[in-house]
């Protein structure tokens, strides 16, 4: 599994949990800030997971010219 796929799955599960939390609170007649806050925290976590996966992907696709200009120490010997 790639890190992008892992991130998509994690994002989906966090968003699903947020939706479920909001739905359960509605069904119970709870309209307090706590359930909204928790669901919001899950949505932020999903966003962070997705953004981190994108950052890792960008790093992995870094141009090889950078590597050629700054070769690993083993290659410099």
Angle at 73 between CA 68 and CA 77, to 5 degrees: 95
What is the residue extent of each domain of the chain? 3-76
Averaged pLDDT score across all residues of the chain? 77
Q: What is the pLDDT of residue 64?
A: 61
Q: What is the pLDDT of residue 10?
A: 85
Angle at 52 between CA 49 and CA 56, to 5 degrees: 140
Q: Is the pTM of this model over 0.75?
A: no
> 20-45 burial, b if ≥16 CB within 10 A, otherwise e?
ebbeebeeeeeeeeebeeebeebbeb
Summarize the confidence of residues 27-45 as an average pLDDT: 76
Does position 69 have pLDDT exceeding 70, yes or no? no
| Residues 52, 7 contacting (CB under 8 angstroms) | yes
């Amino acid at each position: 599994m790639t890190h992008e796929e892992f991130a998509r799955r994690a994002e989906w599960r966090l968003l699903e949990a947020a939706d479920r939390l909001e739905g359960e609170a509605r069904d119970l007649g709870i309209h307090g800030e706590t359930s909204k806050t928790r669901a919001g925290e899950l949505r932020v976590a999903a966003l962070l997971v997705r953004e981190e996966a994108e950052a890792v992907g960008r790093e992995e696709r870094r141009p090889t010219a950078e590597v050629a200009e700054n070769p690993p120490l083993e290659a410099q010997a």
